[in-house]
């Protein structure tokens, strides 16, 4: 399915539980730009920096009409703690079975210190007001990533 994910194509809809206890779907954000970012794990160094970078850029992100949604395999309680600890002003979604991560092609076999395991490859998708892919970032490096996302959001 990930082969179909290219700019100009409709973004796959999803429904996932959030840290607030509600279930959120992509279609519920029609009319807004969506920054859908997938990250490996709550409260780890790179993921914390990425989340805090989005938090710190929230005023600029809101000016583009965007909402930010973070997705990982962590559960809602882990998300609640992570969000509260770092004062994150956006929802975190739990993809416990990796179904949405698979659909977006970000659930990958990884190799850490010679041990193979499956997890999320840090990736961000920018989706326009009509639900169409506007930009994609794979194998994200956290530094300056939010500036790159903002540049895509500001494009007409």
| CA-based R_g, the chain, Å | 14
CA dihedral over 75, 57, 120, 7, signed as positive or negative = positive
- Is 47 among the catalytic positions? yes
- Residue the block writes with tokens 């079975």: 97
Determine contact, residues 51/39, Cβ cutoff 8 Å.
yes
Sequence-separated (6 or more) residues with CB below 8 Å from residue 45: none
Angle at alpha carbon of residue 143, lines to 141 and 149, rounded to 5°: 80
Of residues 11, 26, 47, 68, which has the active-site annotation? Answer: 47
d(CA 60, CA 56): 9
Which residues carry out catalysis? 47
């Amino acid at each position: 399915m990930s082969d179909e994910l290219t700019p100009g194509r409709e973004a796959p809809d999803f429904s996932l539980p959030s840290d607030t206890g509600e279930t959120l779907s992509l279609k519920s954000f029609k009319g807004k730009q969506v920054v859908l970012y997938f990250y490996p794990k709550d409260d780890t160094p790179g993921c914390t920096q990425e989340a805090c970078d989005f938090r710190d850029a929230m005023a600029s992100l809101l000016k583009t009409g965007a909402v930010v949604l973070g997705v990982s395999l962590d559960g809602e309680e882990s998300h609640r703690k992570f969000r509260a600890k770092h004062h994150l002003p956006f929802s975190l979604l739990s993809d416990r079975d990796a179904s949405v991560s698979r659909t977006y092609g970000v659930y990958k076999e990884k190799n850490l210190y010679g041990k193979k395991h499956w997890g999320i490859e840090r990736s961000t998708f920018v989706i326009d007001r009509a639900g169409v892919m506007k930009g994609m970032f794979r194998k994200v490096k956290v530094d300056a990533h939010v500036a790159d996302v903002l540049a895509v959001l500001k494009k007409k």
